[in-house]
Chain A
Amino acid sequence: MGDKRPIRVMLVDDHAMVRTGLRQFLKGFTDMELAGEASNGAEAVDICLQAAPDVVLMDLVMPDMDGSQATRRIRQLCPQVQVIALTSFQEQDMVERTLQAGAIGYLLKNVSAEELAGAIRAAHAGRPTLSQEAAEALVQATRQRPELGGDLSGREREVLELLVEGLSNGQIAERLTISPATVRFHVSSILRKLGASSRAEAVSLAWQHHLVERK
């Protein structure tokens, strides 16, 4: 936090009133300054490229490209820019989507000025900030997310372990004393359940998501 330069903040919101308020808010802090304004996602991307802000306060529900899409674009084009979602919505999927798009923070439009300022500083420092509601939603989402590979049967797990070891279908059949046809059947079911399109991808997923014990 020993950055002398004020943090350049860009405001993205379709509601002019809100932008006015935020504008005024920024005036209240010396270590922040207004970098630019946009009233929709597309504008946001353009101005972001021009104005080169440090942090973007992004409203989510906007016409002509919503907040999460704009976040993704900005994060692609200017990876050094951090995005904080500032929205009225706390739906689970919105939180997920926005965070997946690359937002570093998610705040509702009921935060205090101090909290908002803190989140901006944290984002500039690369630390995420989540509102209570957002954190709850995230926890809920993570809990609900089906564990990849959770629906594999025992036999399928065995086959998967052997796949990971690099055995061919014939060798697997030998090892497990089943017919090669049965092996093939299990393999295709594994691919389906993991959402993999090849054995190699299945192996990679299994490894990534710790579906098999590393030996």
Chain B
Amino acid sequence: MKTKALVLALALLLTAYTSAFAQEDEPPRRGPVILTDEQGEYRLGPHLEILEDPSGQLTIQEVTSPEFEGQFTPSQAAAPDFGYTQSAYWVRFDLKNETRGTDEWLLEVGFANMQFVDLYLPEPVGEGFVVKGSGALRPFETRDVAQRLIVFNLPLSPQDEQTIYMRFQSGASMTLGLTLRAPDAFLQHIRNDTLGLGLFYGVLLIMLGYHLFLLYSLREASYVYYVFFLASTILLFVEYDGLGRQYLWPGLFGWTKIRMATFMALFFMSIVKFANAFLELKNKAPRWHRLVTLVLAVWGLLIPLQFFLSYYVIASLYLPWGLVSLVVVWAAALLSWRQGHRRPALLFLSAWIGVIIGVMVLLLALLGTLPRTALTGEAWRVGLVWLVALWSLALAERINLLRVETEEANRELRASEDRLSQVLEAMPVAVVVYGTDRKPRLVNRQAVELLSNPEREMGPDLTLSRSLEQAAKYYSFRVAGSDEVYPLERLPVERALGGEHAAVDDLEIDLVDKRRFLELWASPIFDEWGNVHYAVVAFRDITRRKQAEEDLRKQREHLEELVAGRTAELGEANQLLQGEIAERTRAEEALQQTVTELSVLNRIAHVLTSVSDLPQALDLVSESVTHLFGVSVTFIGQLDAAQTELKVLSRFSHDCAQPELMRLPIEPTEEANLRHELLRGQTQVIQKRVNCPFLGPMGEHMAACDIQTLMLVPLRVREASIGVLGLEMASVERVFTPVEISLAQTIAASLSTALENARLFEGAQAAAAAEERNRMARDLHDSVSQVLFSASLVAEVLPSIWDSDPEEALESLEELRRLTRGALAEFRTMLLELRPTAVIKTPLGQLMAQLTEAVTSRTQLPFRLHIENVPPLPGEVHTAFYRIAQEALNNVVKHAGASQVTVRLQTTDPVSPQGGGDWKGQVTLSVEDDGQGFTPESRQRERLGMGIMRERAESIGARLSIESQVGQGTQVRLVWGS
């Protein structure tokens, strides 16, 4: 049908062209066709007279009537072609038989698919015609000649002449190629035709059969479509050539149109499908594949349409779409060629060349360029065979190519498999690869070793045919440490084959005389489509580890037992410890108490040694003791010389406000025992209810505060009691513990020391003072004697001076007088030193004058005196003034380097010498010199002296100021008073 389409397409374009050539070929001529012996075959085309009958209703009678006679037009071509037309066509031609003996002629209608053909032979006798019908759509049995082609017997006697009428009607194309042949010629023709057809279909059928075999053995998709193509080609041409009608389905003439249309569709579809498969468009050019699928889809729609539309319409749909299909196929092939698949595409395309050439030859024959022979007319069949052959070749090529590729792929696969094997062999773990059929593909050396027990002839199946399940039974897979069979679905291999990664370490296998524990890891291997292809399982022997774990577990159990036992022991021990801790806490508390006591003791001792004011220190001690012991009253008393009375030096009470008690007599008569004991140094603890009520003043004193218990600790110094430390308690329940008594005694010792020190200090002070005075006295004594010595010298020489120079002698006498006066002053001062009480008795002004004279006489320092009438001052003040003046004057004489000294004694409120009463004034003593003043060095040197002056001043409550500037003299001021 393809050729038909091609023919149609080209014919349509070249109608004019053709007609021109056709005219050239055989010019139309009227007149009968002369049949001679020489010519066996007559083409009637140019001799025809044609009448178109659009309605198709004309009868022979009408046609032969004179009115229609003139409407027959002579044919213009050798094979007039009127394309697809619904009209009927009447044809008329004259035949004149000028042969000698041929009287039976055969008329062939060139187009086997002409649907309705009627031959009208004139009646031998009379008017009218004999009708012979034929056509593709008429039952085959009605054919005049049982032939695929439409052939009529045409009897025409020699020398006869007849006019023959024919009527053609066809839903297909209207091609009027009539040929008249003599029987011999016809036979020849038939033979050629049959031969040709035989060859053609022979090749096709052989190809079909051959490729069916190939299809069966190679199972290639392309072969399916190729076979499909061959089959549909055969069917189509069988139908087109009319062979089907003749041999295959003569009775199914009604199906002709359906058959035709369907076979045509199938033909095109098969081409497309084959091209699609052959060129591998799905993989290599998906877009074309889609296009192709679309084309096929349209064909799919077109096929059922034939039941709803006329053949004419169908034909006009099918043919263009067939053309489109071909174009798509060629384009795809070209693309494939361009993509690089040269050989297959090339073969595919070059196959068509044969067809094209065949068709071109046909066209050229039709056009007249080439002679019209059976060969040229059927050249297109050769082309088709060429196509079939080349496609077969192409297929074979492809198969070969595929085979080569496959081989290479296999080689590579083997190589990579080889590498994989090496990798697996090299791995330190056992590896087995399982396929989805649960059979192993690969077992590496380690696996073999691990799973073998040669002595017992156990080992893995190296033919790789033992399935997983069988292996599980063979090795008695068990859950480690139990007799439970290992469930297959838990095996990592199974799970990996299901697509998950799995690992277990509780698999136990049995190797007859040994059991191995295995740790397995399995992973799936996926193919390119994401399906599980293999499962790889790696495993190793962990028997040792298991053993170790087991041992560990046992040890741990044992340990736990021990621990439990030990814990119980510890619990008991803990209990004991708790008890001990409680005790210890108590001991600590006691210790803490002791520490507190010691710290108080320490403080008391510190206070007693550091505080210079004894009364203050004693008060502090009393307070501390009261708080420390928690008693009501603490007092410290000093025994007087007669040891009959306690002078209370200090008392502290925080809850007992008694009237101040200064003295506490210890009567020998009433408390004889007490006193005796105290004097002996024994601490006394007296309890009211036990020792009978206190008596005497002490008793009164105790009763005032409801004192219940009294502790008296004697203060001892060198085996003699000098005082008492007393603690009074108002509480009835409490008694003095031995610890407290001991503590009190310790405090008492400190107190004794303190009191003694105070006493000694006073004594020392007094001694120091006395020492100082003695020294001074000696000093004076010495100076007095020296002065007298001087005086004696002067006296001795006086007479001789008098002799030589009376004036000078007078001077000397004056000097003598001064000397003696000075001596006298010093002497008096000396006397004062020797009798300290005289100091107080001498009025202060007189003292000052005497002192000044005495001191300055040594250095003959000029002095000035300003003495005012000061009232009598208290003894200590008087003495202090004297001593300070003495020290100041001594300093002036010794260090000042002065030329003058001024001594002032002034008062703000001068009063009569009697004085008395409440005198509220101030007395000021000032000693001024104009010497060099105090340099820092001299200040340092005289620190002691100045210190003594200050002490004296302080002791009388006076203010001492020493002002001095270097080079400008010194002033010592003492101010006393309110």
A23, A24, A88: the one contacting B786 at CB < 8 Å is A88
CB distance from B228 to the nearest CB of A (A): 143
Find out whether the CB atom of A24 lies under 8 angstroms from the CB atom of B858.
Answer: no
Find out whether the CB atom of A113 lies under 8 angstroms from the CB atom of B808.
Answer: no
Find out whether the CB atom of B815 lies under 8 angstroms from the CB atom of A21.
Answer: yes
Q: Contacts A63-B894, A88-B782, A114-B796 known; A20 to B801 CB distance under 8 Å?
A: no
CB distance from B836 to the nearest CB of A (A): 26
Q: Mark B937-958, 1 if CB is under 8 A from A, else 0.
A: 0000000000000000000000
Q: Which residue of B lies closest to A28 (CB)?
A: B797
Q: Contacts A17-B822, A21-B815 known; A27 to B801 CB distance under 8 Å?
A: yes
Find out whether the CB atom of B789 lies under 8 angstroms from the CB atom of A27.
Answer: no
Which residues of A, 88-116, contact B by the 8 Å Cβ criterion?
88, 109-110, 112-114, 116
CB distance from A53 to the nearest CB of B (A): 19
Q: Which residue of A lies closest to B796 (CB)?
A: A113
A28, B804: Cα distance in complex, Å: 9
Q: Mark A108-143, 1 if CB is under 8 A from B, else 0.
A: 011011101000000000000000000000000000
A63, B891: Cα distance in complex, Å: 13
Which of B790, B800, B801, B816 lies at the interface centre, i.e. has the most chain A CB atoms within 10 A of its CB? B790
Residues of A within 8 A of B785 (CB): 88, 109
CB distance from B897 to the nearest CB of A (A): 10
Is B570 interfacial (CB-CB < 8 Å)? no
Which residues of B, 814-863, contact A by the 8 Å Cβ criterion?
815-816, 818-819, 822-823, 857-861
CB distance from B473 to the nearest CB of A (A): 111
CB distance from A40 to the nearest CB of B (A): 11
Q: Contacts A18-B790, A20-B819, A21-B791 known; A28 to B857 CB distance under 8 Å?
A: no
Is B783 interfacial (CB-CB < 8 Å)? yes
Is A52 interfacial (CB-CB < 8 Å)? no
A127, B165: Cα distance in complex, Å: 214
Q: Contacts A17-B786, A63-B894 known; A24 to B822 CB distance under 8 Å?
A: no
Residues of B within 8 A of A28 (CB): 796-798, 800-801
Is A185 interfacial (CB-CB < 8 Å)? no
CB distance from A196 to the nearest CB of B (A): 41
A25, B796: Cα distance in complex, Å: 8
Is B812 interfacial (CB-CB < 8 Å)? yes
Is B537 interfacial (CB-CB < 8 Å)? no
Is A22 interfacial (CB-CB < 8 Å)? yes
Find out whether the CB atom of B812 lies under 8 angstroms from the CB atom of A18.
Answer: no
A29, B805: Cα distance in complex, Å: 12
B783, B797, B860, B861: the one contacting A24 at CB < 8 Å is B797
Residues of A within 8 A of B812 (CB): 24, 27
Residues of B within 8 A of A20 (CB): 790, 794, 815, 818-819, 860
Find out whether the CB atom of A27 lies under 8 angstroms from the CB atom of B858.
Answer: no
Is A178 interfacial (CB-CB < 8 Å)? no
B783, B798, B815: the one contacting A15 at CB < 8 Å is B783
Is A30 interfacial (CB-CB < 8 Å)? yes
CB distance from A207 to the nearest CB of B (A): 45
Is A49 interfacial (CB-CB < 8 Å)? no
Q: Mark A160-193, 1 if CB is under 8 A from B, else 0.
A: 0000000000000000000000000000000000
A17, A23, A29: the one contacting B858 at CB < 8 Å is A17
B792, B797, B798, B860: the one contacting A17 at CB < 8 Å is B860
A34, B199: Cα distance in complex, Å: 189
Is B787 interfacial (CB-CB < 8 Å)? yes
Residues of A within 8 A of B791 (CB): 21
Q: Contacts A27-B801, A28-B800, A109-B786 known; A16 to B793 CB distance under 8 Å?
A: no
Residues of A within 8 A of B859 (CB): 15-16
- Interface size of A by CB at 8 A reads 22
Q: Contacts A25-B796, A27-B812, A114-B796 known; A17 to B801 CB distance under 8 Å?
A: no
Residues of B within 8 A of A17 (CB): 783, 786-787, 790, 819, 822-823, 857-858, 860
A168, B801: Cα distance in complex, Å: 72
Find out whether the CB atom of B804 lies under 8 angstroms from the CB atom of A22.
Answer: no
A61, B580: Cα distance in complex, Å: 80
Q: Mark B857-877, 1 if CB is under 8 A from A, else 0.
A: 111110000000000000000
A contact face: mostly helix, strand, loop, or mixed: helix
CB distance from A94 to the nearest CB of B (A): 14
Q: Which residue of B lies closest to A88 (CB)?
A: B782
A24, B797: Cα distance in complex, Å: 8
Find out whether the CB atom of B860 lies under 8 angstroms from the CB atom of A21.
Answer: no
Q: Mark A3-28, 1 if CB is under 8 A from B, else 0.
A: 00000000000011110111111011
Find out whether the CB atom of A25 lies under 8 angstroms from the CB atom of B786.
Answer: no
Residues of B within 8 A of A25 (CB): 793-794, 796-797
A17, B784: Cα distance in complex, Å: 10
Q: Which residue of A lies closest to B803 (CB)?
A: A28
Which of A25, A28, A30, A109 lies at the interface centre, i.e. has the most chain B CB atoms within 10 A of its CB? A28
Find out whether the CB atom of B793 lies under 8 angstroms from the CB atom of A15.
Answer: no
A18, B818: Cα distance in complex, Å: 12
Residues of B within 8 A of A112 (CB): 792, 796
CB distance from A178 to the nearest CB of B (A): 59
Q: Contacts A16-B859, A63-B894 known; A21 to B793 CB distance under 8 Å?
A: yes
Q: Which residue of A lies closest to B895 (CB)?
A: A63
Which residues of A, 27-76, contact B by the 8 Å Cβ criterion?
27-30, 63
Q: Which residue of A lies closest to B793 (CB)?
A: A25
CB distance from B792 to the nearest CB of A (A): 8
Residues of B within 8 A of A23 (CB): 815
A36, B485: Cα distance in complex, Å: 141
Find out whether the CB atom of B819 lies under 8 angstroms from the CB atom of A110.
Answer: no
CB distance from B141 to the nearest CB of A (A): 176
CB distance from A116 to the nearest CB of B (A): 7
A25, B857: Cα distance in complex, Å: 19
Q: Contacts A15-B783, A88-B782 known; A110 to B789 CB distance under 8 Å?
A: yes
Residues of A within 8 A of B800 (CB): 28-29
CB distance from B413 to the nearest CB of A (A): 112
Which of B796, B808, B823, B857 lies at the interface centre, i.e. has the most chain A CB atoms within 10 A of its CB? B796
Find out whether the CB atom of A21 lies under 8 angstroms from the CB atom of B798.
Answer: no
Residues of A within 8 A of B860 (CB): 16-17, 20
CB distance from A18 to the nearest CB of B (A): 5
A18, A24, A29, A114: the one contacting B787 at CB < 8 Å is A18
Find out whether the CB atom of B797 lies under 8 angstroms from the CB atom of A15.
Answer: no
Residues of A within 8 A of B786 (CB): 15, 17-18, 88, 109
CB distance from B570 to the nearest CB of A (A): 76
CB distance from B66 to the nearest CB of A (A): 196
A211, B526: Cα distance in complex, Å: 129
CB distance from B396 to the nearest CB of A (A): 135
B783, B793, B804, B861: the one contacting A30 at CB < 8 Å is B804
A25, B794: Cα distance in complex, Å: 5
Q: Which residue of A lies closest to B799 (CB)?
A: A28
Find out whether the CB atom of B789 lies under 8 angstroms from the CB atom of A24.
Answer: no
A27, B823: Cα distance in complex, Å: 22
Q: Which residue of B lies closest to A63 (CB)?
A: B894
Which of A27, A88, A116 lies at the interface centre, i.e. has the most chain B CB atoms within 10 A of its CB? A27
Q: Contacts A16-B858, A21-B815, A24-B812 known; A109 to B796 CB distance under 8 Å?
A: no
CB distance from B449 to the nearest CB of A (A): 94
Q: Contacts A20-B815, A28-B797 known; A109 to B789 CB distance under 8 Å?
A: yes
Q: Contacts A24-B812, A27-B812 known; A18 to B789 CB distance under 8 Å?
A: yes
Q: Which 3 A-B pairs have the closest CB atoms?
A: A21-B790, A28-B797, A113-B796
A-B contact pairs, 9 of them (CB 8 A): A15-B783, A17-B860, A18-B789, A20-B794, A20-B815, A20-B819, A21-B787, A24-B794, A88-B782
With A17-B822, A20-B815 given, can you name 12 additional A-B contacts, CB distance below 8 Å?
Answer: A17-B790, A17-B858, A20-B790, A24-B797, A24-B815, A25-B794, A27-B808, A28-B800, A28-B801, A63-B894, A109-B785, A109-B786
| A contact residues vs B (CB 8 Å cutoff) | 15-18, 20-25, 27-30, 63, 88, 109-110, 112-114, 116
